[in-house]
Amino acid sequence: MIARIRKNEELLEGYFIVDIEAEGIGLRKAGRPAVPGQFYMLKAGPSTDPLLRRPLSLHRKLSDDSVRFLYRRAGRGTALLSRLIPGDEIDVLGPLGNGFPMPAGIKHALIVGGGIGIAPLMALADYISDERKDISAAAFIGGRSREYVLGADEFSRKGIETFTATEDGSLGKKGFITHILDEYIHEHKHKGTGGWAIYSCGPHPMLISVAAMAKKYGIKNYTSMESNMACGIGACMGCVIGVLDREHGSSVYKKVCDDGPVFDADDIVW
């Protein structure tokens, strides 16, 4: 569908938010809202170079007819997007993919993000604080330095206890956010971690260490994965990752766009 840019702003060097509007863009079918963890395929302009759409996660659902993305200028596709101005058209497909699962019995969500990985986790935080008063949350946000810790203030404002870490110590603890997560779980685990779930998105090494920690403590970990995509709708088989097939005890290739992008971290062949 063709959407219109309402706002496209650089937050800090190379990081942008863009709000786009189109009728029903914040909805899946039949009036049901897009869920946190879902993504959209965007194409800025009709040129054949870049050719393919680029996936971006739902960052915030502003209304049924308006959504926000948080994106990093990584290459030509996102650079092109960053140059669009209010009123410009953009071609959008979505929402796509499965979204973060919230199985019954979840009481406490640990939200773990690094850098641009915070993009889909903000949608999750919005959902929990607006619609799931039965679930408490804590957030763990890491980045290279102070500026790259995105969204921490916003999480705190929602009343979510928020911990930060930076590699250079310019904000929060110095080091990796996974250390703080480890301390947090260690400190609280005597009260029981039943009903806890970790939601993660960020750089691959961070996801691996979060998954290992979740396993160590026996906590469920749902993680949003990335891969190069062509179609985004399950047709090309181009975006697969290796996932354990528990039934057959082997690994199979699953589509990030269609079976994911959110997977049970314990199933992923890292």
Partner 1 sequence: MVKIKPSLSVKLGPLTLKNPVVTASGTFGYGEEYSKYFDLSLLGGITTKGLSLKPMQGNPPPRLCETPSGMLNAIGLQNVGVDDFIKRKLPFLAGFDTKVIANIFGNTVEEYEAVTARLDRAKGVHAIEVNISCPNVKKGGMAFGTDLEATYDVIRAVRNATSLPVIAKLSPNVTDIVPFADRAAHAGADALSLINTLLGMAIDIKNRKPRIANITGGLSGPAIRPVAVRIVWQVYRAVGLPIIGMGGIMNAEDAIEFMLAGATAVAAGTASFVNPLAPVEIIAGIERYMIENGIDHAHHLIGQVQA
Ligand X SMILES: Cc1cc2nc3c(=O)[nH]c(=O)nc-3n(C[C@H](O)[C@H](O)[C@H](O)COP(=O)(O)OP(=O)(O)OC[C@H]3O[C@@H](n4cnc5c(N)ncnc54)[C@H](O)[C@@H]3O)c2cc1C
Residue with smaller CB distance to partner 1, 175 or 238:
238
Neighbours of 27 (CB within 10 A): 17
- What phi and psi values does residue 63 have, to the nearest 5 degrees? -165, 180
Of ligand FES, ligand X, ligand FMN, none, which one does residue 255 interact with (CB within 5 to 8 Å by kind)? ligand FES
Instruction: State the minimum distance, in angstroms, from the CB of residue 229 to ligand FES.
Output: 4
Residue with smaller CB distance to partner 1, 14 or 195:
14
Of partner 1, ligand FES, ligand X, none, which one does residue 55 interact with (CB within 5 to 8 Å by kind)? ligand X
Of ligand FES, ligand FMN, partner 1, none, which one does residue 125 interact with (CB within 5 to 8 Å by kind)? none
Which residue type sits at 71?
Answer: Y
Three-state secondary-structure class, residue 263: strand
Neighbours of 263 (CB within 10 A): 21
Question: Where does 140-247 have alpha helices with state H?
Answer: 152-157, 177-188, 204-217
Of partner 1, ligand FES, ligand X, none, which one does residue 93 interact with (CB within 5 to 8 Å by kind)? partner 1
Residue in the block written with tokens 């971006």: 56
Residues that bind ligand FES (CB under 6 A): 229-232, 234-239, 255, 257-258
CA triple 73-119-28, angle to 5 deg: 110
Three-state secondary-structure class, residue 77: helix
Instruction: State the minimum distance, in angstroms, from the CB of residue 30 to partner 1.
Output: 13
Applying CB under 6 A, which of residues 1, 11, 236, 269 lies at the interface with ligand FMN?
Answer: 236
Binding site for ligand FMN (CB under 6 A): 236, 238
